[in-house]
Amino acid sequence: MKTMNTKTINKKKAKEVVGKTATKTVTYTIHAIKLIFIILIIYITGITVYGYLSTGQEFLTTVATLSIGGFWAFFFGYWGWRLSQSIEEYFLEISKK
């Protein structure tokens, strides 16, 4: 029967290794997110320039219209959610009484 080598774990060394690993993970994640945003900005800029050059002012008007529509959709969606949340809380308080 073979005996297993059991070593005691140095807690200070283990914390140091975990700390270094966590730091590297966060660093790589931040760099990846920055790279993704840079690629998105370049892509959006390229599509905007191409759309403007191919269709002219009509493209920018469409982009502005969709942007305003998106803002209003978000705005009303958020306030609708807040309103429904307050109504739900009101009914919960009524049911408790």
Check residue 46 and give its pLDDT: 93
Nearest CA to 44 out of 52, 56, 32 is that of 52
Please report which confidence band the pLDDT of residue 2 belongs to, taking 50, 70 and 90 as the band edges: low
Q: How many structural domains compose the chain?
A: 2
Torsion of CA 49, 55, 58, 59, to 10 degrees: -40
Please indicate, yes or no, whether residues 49 and 70 belong to a single structural domain of this protein.
no
> 29: which 2 tokens?
């994640």
Residue 1 has pLDDT above 60, yes or no: no
Q: Is pLDDT of 20 > 80? A: yes
- The confidence score (pLDDT) of residue 4 equals 61
Residues 43 and 62 grouped into a single domain: no
Q: In whole angstroms, give the CA distance from residue 64 to residue 70.
A: 10
What's the domain range around 38?
Answer: 10-55
Decide if 34 is inside a domain.
yes
Tell me: do 68 and 96 sit in the same domain: yes
- Give the Cα separation of 86 and 94 in Å (integer): 12
Residue 2 lies in a domain: no
- Sorting pLDDT into bands at 50, 70 and 90, what band is 76? very high
Give the burial string for 62-71 (b: 16+ CB within 10 Å, else e): eeeeeeeeee
Element (H, E) at 40: helix 11-55
21 and 39 in a common domain: yes
In a domain? residue 47: yes
Average pLDDT score over residue span 9-33: 90
Which pTM was predicted? 0.53
Q: Is residue 1 part of a domain?
A: no
